[in-house]
Amino acid sequence: MQQTIRIATRGSALARTQAAWVAERLTMHHPNLKVETHIIKTLADAHQEIPLHGFRQRGVFVKEIENALLNGEADLAVHSMKDLPADIPDGLVVGAVPPREDPLDVLVLRDEPAPLKAGIPLPEGALVGSSSLRRQAQLRHHRPDLRFCDLRGNVDTRLRKLDEGAMDAIILAAAGLIRLGLAERISARLPEEISLPAVCQGALAIECRADDESTLTLLQPLEDSETRCCVTAERALLRALGGGCAVPVGGLARIEGTALVLQGAIAAPDGTRLVREIQTGSPDDPEGLGAALGARLLATGGQEILQEMHSQRGIQDA
């Protein structure tokens, strides 16, 4: 008997590509499975005129999709895991974490790369498009001469604006370009020492209802234990810092031999201060490692940066 499973996803080309990737692997492992895809518009999709750091609520890329899961309108959802808040709603669970794609940030340049300055191939005073406070803050820290403009929209929209001459460069996730078959547009990868990626960048989260044993069983072949371990540590770090799209926090974990190594960074939006730490622990306790590194970052200057940001936001919102 054929079973049908309904996937909820955003409508961007990247979101649809990621959902199609999951659907293909599900049917590869379960040949009698029929997969339906349901496109859902999220708050962030509906208001692309607002920079990511301009939203005051969390989960702006996922809330409507999670509601569809909770209401029984869909059986699973495919997210870019970096869009998933550190705490997910009761009744939902990340049922599978597939292998991670390249987690780094990359530059896409309009012209040929300039000679490296502080490790970044951009000319003096270049205008860079990005709505990510994390990316802006870290590049400002290394290159105070750079200028930035907010840039929202799908990957193809951002590339078109670059090609039309609206800016000199844009910063994107390597994973998105690779998944869309646009790896040739990558001009330069930004080393993690310069731009520590967003927590969970390059990883997918397949979310479903916690009590849906049938769907959880179907998802088991898509699980990658090493990626799950790394993103669990990164999400624990984010949770310890109370972070989201509006906070310039970076985090990246890797398993090296028998150890789990986690890097974390908090940057002031203007780039004048950057707190960066690295900590090693056991892959058996990724939650503990993330919490410990979060506490360390707060104690070494991150708390002051976050407090100033929250204070300024409170003034802006008044």
Catalytic site positions: 83
What's the rounded Cα separation, in Å, for the pair 153 and 14? 11
Q: At what angle do helices 225-241 and 286-297 cross, to 10 degrees?
A: 30
- 139, 271 in Cβ contact below 8 A? yes
Contacts of 257 (CB under 8 A, 6+ apart): none
Alpha carbon of residue 110 to chain centroid: 24
Contacts of 14 (CB under 8 A, 6+ apart): 80, 154, 155, 176, 179, 180
What's the rounded Cα separation, in Å, for the pair 123 and 111? 10
Nearest CA among 252, 127, 107 for reference residue 190: 107
3-state helix vs strand vs coil in the chain, percent to 5: 40, 25, 40
What's the rounded Cα separation, in Å, for the pair 16 and 9? 7
Six-digit token string for 310: 């929250």
- 198, 223 in Cβ contact below 8 A? no
Beta strand 127-129 with 33-39 is unpaired
Encode 287-298 in three state secondary structure. HHHHHHHHHHHH
